[in-house]
Every structure is written in C-alpha cells, then in structure tokens.
Amino acid sequence: MEGELLTVIIVVATALAFDFTNGFHDTANVVATSISTRAMAPRIAVGYAAVLNFVGAFISLQVAATVASDVVDPGAISLLVVFGGLVGAIAWNLVTWYFGLPSSSSHALIGGIVGAMLVAEGPGAVFFGSGILGKVMIPALVAPTLAFVIGGAAILSLYRIVGRLRPGPVTQGFRGGQVISGGLLALAHGTNDAQKTMGVIALALVAYGSLPAADPSPPTWVIVSAATAIAAGTYAGGWRIIKTMGSRIHKMDSAQGFAAQGAGAAVILASSAGGFPLSTTHTISGAVIGSGAAKRLSAVRWGVAGNIVAAWILTLPAAAGIGALTYGITRLFGTGAVGPVIVSVLILIGSAMLFSRRARHGGPVAAAPSKA
C-alpha cells in the first residue's frame, strides 16, 4: 500500500507537471493575437491570461468527466497506465515546444493514455467508437474548421460594419475589444484544458481506489491544484509559440485579432459545455487562419499553417507510441514505484538538457519577417 501511495503521489505530481507544460506550451497561444496587434503588452497579456485560466478551470467539469469516463475504461485503469500516458504527453509537448510547433497538448494527453492502455489491457479497454472517435477525433476536425469559418465570417462582417470609419478610432476600439475577447479566450482555455488534467488525476484516484469508477468526479483539491498548475505554466512562458501564432501565420490588424479571439472563444466555450475535450491550439489556429484568409488568401503563411497541420496529424500516434513505450519500461520494474521513479528522473534530465540547449543556442524557430 505504501508503494501504491508513492506511485499515486508520483502520478499526481506528473499530472500537475503536465498541466504546467500545457500552460507553458499551449496557453500562450491565447495571448498571441493580443500581443501581435499591440492590444496588450506581452507580460500583462500573459499575467491576465494566467489569472483567467485559473478562473476558467472552476466554471465547468464536463470535459473532466469525458476524460475520466469516456476515453478508456475507468474500471481497467492502473496507475502505471496513467503515468505512461502522462509521460507520453509531456515528452511530445517538450519536443513540439522545442521545435516551436503549436501541437495539441490535449491530443497528446489522450494519445498517451490510449497508447499505454492498449499495451496494458488491449483494445477492449479503449473506447474507440463513442469515446475516441465521437468525443475526440470528430470534434478535433469540426472545431478548427468551425473556428476557421467563424473567424472568416466575423472579420468580413466587421469590415462591412466599420469599413468606412477612420482607421484610428476603430483600431483603438478593437484593441479595447481584444482585452475582452482575449480574456474570454483565456477563460475558455481554462474550462477545456485544465479539466483534462483533472480527468486524468481522477483516473489515477480511481486506480488507487479513492474514487469510484462509476462516478469519478474530481474532488476540490484536484480542481484547485490543476487550475493553479495551468495558470503558473501560462505565466512561465511560451514565447516561442507566441511568435508562431501571433505573426508567423499572418500579420493581423486589431479587428482580425478581435474576430479570431472571439471565434476561438465561442467554439471552445461551446465545446466545453458539450464535454468535448478539443484542442484549444488547433481551434485558435483555425480562427487565426480564417480571419486572415477572409481578408486575403496570400496574407496567410501557408507553410507555417502546414507545419501546424503536420503536428496535428502526428500528435495522437506519436504520444500514443511514447505512452506505450513508457508503460512497457515501467512494467519492467514491476507494478510498484521503482519504474515511475526511474522514468521521472530520465524525463527531468531530458527536460533539463532541452532547456539548457535552448538557452545556449536560442530558438530553432527564427523570427520571420511579418508579411503585410
């Protein structure tokens, strides 16, 4: 039992570390458009997003319920499966962060859990139909497409409404609007992304026996700690991803920034209410590209958009592969805490190497000149 307690502590700590990397890697996308259009200073925008991510985590628990109950069989879950899934997600997040690709932390997490579960219990313990396909894959296609369409339609309607006004006051007006839309986007991110970690910790508590498999609702301490971790991660960084999202896809004016943020927030909030754990990164990317393409197709840097799509396609299988491998390695050391401890140390060493390499050599993603 003591070994199990140590394992569950390691798994919860790893889940919160993932949540932190989620904030670090993912949430910065939320503020990219505000910074790109100079609606907010970078540090203020990041702090503002961190606070609203924290608040958003308390608004709804639908997505946490989906992750805890509808992706894999909670009755067959084990602590090592949850740990393998988390390591798969963290490792993929670190790799895509290093290369400056805004891939999905959410899909990485779900891919990691599914990969580890497949190796541990076989395909019977994974809900491929109504869970993976119905709750993850199809919404993963619908949400960015919807955000693209809404972003485009919103900016066209805005240009029609304010197109004949003097640009100065209009720009000021939309910069003010971006304080609202950027805040909503951060709030939306908290409602969807922080809940995924809550769902995973709930799965770990089911495996440990402190939550019933039939109703794995996360307790309050899980909600508070997940909200805190994602908010801290948001504040800590993500500048490289900001660069990709904010100006490398296309150069935005403040009306486009407002339309993109409004479209992204609307899709994410509606999806959170429906319990769909979608990729906030892909949704925001879709809205940003839509608002640019509606103005002028050539304004979008399609090469960068293509990299985002490539990361999108790779994320589920890559994280699943790492999750499966991690589960296999930890099982070599039995079902106790030895395997997770060894893997955690290896992950920490790998992360330190990536961070120090980045610090020494700077970013592999160079700042591209903006395209008017």
Rounded to the nearest whole angstrom, what is the least distance from the CB of residue 73 to another protein in the complex? Answer: 17
DSSP summary character for residue 1: -
Cβ proximity to another protein: between 11 and 70 the closer is 70
Compute the distance between CA of residue 105 and CA of residue 238 in angstroms, rounded to an integer: 13
Q: Which is nearer to another protein, 11 or 52 (CB)?
A: 52
Q: Look up residue 217 and give its amino acid.
A: S
Residue 146 vs 300, nearer CB to another protein: 146
Instruction: State in angstroms the smallest separation of the CB of 371 from another protein.
Output: 24
Task: Give least dist CB 135 to another protein, A.
Answer: 8
Residue 174 or 327 with smaller CB distance to another protein: 174
CB nearer another protein, residue 125 or residue 346: 125
- For residues 282 and 140, the answer to whether their CB atoms sit within 8 Å is yes
Cβ(235)–Cβ(46) under 8 Å?
yes
Nearest approach, Cβ of residue 288 and another protein (Å): 13
Residue 156's Cβ-count burial label (10 Å; 0-12, 13-18, 19+) is middle
Helical H segments across the chain, by residue range: 2-22, 28-36, 42-56, 62-69, 79-98, 105-121, 138-162, 167-189, 195-208, 220-236, 239-243, 254-274, 280-295, 302-331, 338-361
* Nearest distance, CB of residue 346 and another protein, angstroms: 38
Q: Which residues bind another protein (CB under 8 A)?
A: 59-60, 129-130, 133-135, 138-139, 142-143, 146-147, 149-151, 153-154, 157-158, 161-162, 165-166, 169-170, 173-174, 177, 180-181, 184, 187, 191, 258-259, 262-263, 265-267, 269-276
Determine the Cα–Cα distance for residues 336 and 348; give it in Å rounded to an integer: 20
CB of residue 368 to another protein, shortest distance in Å? 28
Q: Which amino acid is at 240?
A: R
Nearer to another protein, 156 or 342 (CB): 156
What is the spatial distance between Cα 269 and Cα 124, in angstroms, rounded to a whole number? Answer: 32
Q: Are 198 and 226 in contact (CB under 8 A)?
A: yes
Q: Which residue from 169, 163, 147 is spatially nearest to 291, judged by alpha carbons?
A: 147
Shortest distance, position 16 Cβ to another protein, whole Å: 24
Kindly tell me which of 260 and 319 has the beta carbon lying closer to another protein: 260
The C-alpha atoms of residue 25 and residue 126 are separated, in whole angstroms, by 27
Residue 308 CB contacts under 8 Å (≥ 6 apart), including other chains: 101, 102, 103, 244, 249, 282, 285
Measured from the CB atom, is 53 or 96 closer to another protein? 53
Nearest residue to 204 via CA among 364, 357, 47, 85? 85
Q: How far apart (Å, rounded) are the C-alpha atoms in residues 137 and 287?
A: 19
Closest CB to another protein among residues 173, 237: 173
Nearest distance, CB of residue 284 and another protein, angstroms:
12
Q: What are the structure tokens assigned to 294, written together?
A: 């509606």
Minimum CB distance to another protein, residue 314 (Å): 24
